[in-house]
Amino acid sequence: MAPRPLKPDFQLASPDTRVYVGDCRELLPRIPEVASAEVDLVFADPPFNWNRRYDEWNDRLPREDYLAFTRDWLDLCIGALRPHGAIWVNIPDDTAAEIVMHLKGRGLHMINWCIWHYRFGQNRLGGFINSKVHALYFARDREKRTWNVDDILEPSDRATTYFDPRTHAKKEGKNGLRVPMDVWYGRFWGRIQGNNKERRALHDNQIPEVYLERVIRACSNEGDLVLDPFLGSGTTGLIARELNRRSIATEFSAQNARSAVERIKTGPVRVRKDTPTVHQTAIFAPRTSRDRSA
């Protein structure tokens, strides 16, 4: 007998934005669009099992229990995808390889293994300071996947720093723009800390708005359905709604879910539907005319 469909704990209209409170492993099979594989894009930023503060969630599971939990929610998300769908997973070093192997083993295609790089890493003396998280991009079908390259272009270093005229004549780009590189950094890309305008109370970890803007613009279209099994501070639902995508999310903590929905209602700080963020990530400042002549 099929599981009884759920009613969302929170719901907003135009576009449809739903949040369900509880364990994603129990909730996802009971959400109609998930059960019938109608999801266009999954973005998942799961607990890292680093003993961090996630309200009611136990973030210190035995390693094998955590890996079993990871495989369980991944399988539910894979089963929810449409044939053109994609899944992104935000995960640190210690579990990235296991997730890559699991997704490959389930027949998905790895499109990119991106790195989200930030300058404000937590200090430690026993090893190099961690300053990155892996952004794993997999698709059901490499050729049929949704890929909106024109919506995510950014200035090329060749155009902004070296003033190479060939960058303006390339067929692949336009006006000196190019596809972003697979290491993501720059203004507004850092960890959400301190007095950052995006910072939300109650949330220990929070992904910047521009990260989700890039993922959602690139891998979904207006009206598509985005799924986030770990809503957290609400960034996925926030940006999906701003970009006119429908969204479904689950969140273990009722307190965090309530806070996330309040944030979604308020709207994003930086991202705007009609003006895609154009990032400037050149390492060096533009050359002067003297530099160019030399």
**pLDDT tens digit sequence for 209-241:** 999 999 999 999 999 999 999 999 999 999 999
How far apart are alpha carbons 56 and 68 in whole angstroms? 19
More confident residue, 281 or 291: 281
Domain membership of residue 1 (yes or no) is: no
Domain membership of residue 7 (yes or no) is: no
pLDDT digits (tens, 9 = 90+) for 26-70: 999 999 999 999 999 999 999 999 887 777 888 899 999 999 999
More confident residue, 211 or 124: 211
Domain membership of residue 44 (yes or no) is: yes
Domain membership of residue 242 (yes or no) is: yes
- Write the CATH number for 203: 3.40.50.150
- Number of domains within the chain: 1
Domain membership of residue 278 (yes or no) is: no
First-residue to last-residue Cα distance in the chain: 75
Bridge-based pairing of strands 177-178 and 154-155 is antiparallel
Domain membership of residue 106 (yes or no) is: yes
pLDDT at 169: 64
Domain membership of residue 287 (yes or no) is: no
Question: Is the pLDDT score of 145 beyond 90?
Answer: yes
> Which residues span the domain enclosing 266?
19-271
% of residues, the chain, pLDDT over 70: 91
Domain membership of residue 262 (yes or no) is: yes
Burial class (CB in 10 A: 0-12, 13-18, 19+), 67: middle
At 16, the pLDDT band (50, 70, 90 cuts) reads very high
